[in-house]
Amino acid sequence: MIYPILTGVFAALICRSEHIGNGWKQILALPVKRSTIFLSKLFMVILLLAGTQTLLLIFFLLLGSLFQIPSPLPFLEILVFTGKGLYATFPLAAIQLIISIYYRSFGVPLAINIAFTLPVLTVYGQYYPWAQPALAMSPADETPLDSLLRFYILISVLFIMITYIGIKVFEKRDLPS
């Protein structure tokens, strides 16, 4: 439940520097396509999420060895779950970036994100972007998914669609000053 909220925090932080001191006007005056700006910000959000997952993996393994867990840790399996969780946040990162670009306040995107994260406890479905990271990190015997292949195709299609919509909206709309 924290990982989707963290996605919103990272997206809001990435856009915060442009919201302060009319940075959007300065960055959009550069000879760079708006789509490149959007994609680079999305890449930075995903990079921060990857760093978070890497830190989680490192601490998980360190704590496992610190407490001397008797059975060997399934390192490869943990690594795969970490990667799946990261991949499942891609559509959510695109959604949060779109929201964060158009709201100057740091609190509005965060409040929207928290409001949509809370129903994860009840809406736990594969079509709900805020539930997808938890579903992706679930073991195969505990997941409510019918088909993992369909789930990852859904994530890929959602990510491409939301990113495309975000780029088109970013190219056409004026940003708040």
Query: pLDDT tens digits, residue range 56-115?
Result: 889 988 887 888 777 777 788 888 888 988 998 999 999 999 999 988 888 888 898 888
Domain assignment present for 177: no
Domain assignment present for 160: yes
Domain assignment present for 157: yes
DSSP secondary structure letters along 124-145:
--TT-TTTHHHHHTS-TTT---
Q: Which domain holds residue 134?
A: 2-172
Residue 72: count other Cβ atoms within 10 Å of its Cβ: 7
Domain assignment present for 29: yes
What is the model's pLDDT at position 176?
Answer: 58
The percent of residues above 70 in pLDDT, for the chain, comes to 88
- For residues 168 and 38, what is the distance between their CA atoms, to the nearest angstrom? 10
Supply angle C-alpha 102, 106, 111, rounded to 5: 90
Q: How many domains does the chain have?
A: 1
Domain assignment present for 163: yes
Residue 147 pLDDT grade (very low, low, confident, very high; cuts 50, 70, 90): confident
Determine if the pTM surpasses 0.75: yes
Domain assignment present for 44: yes
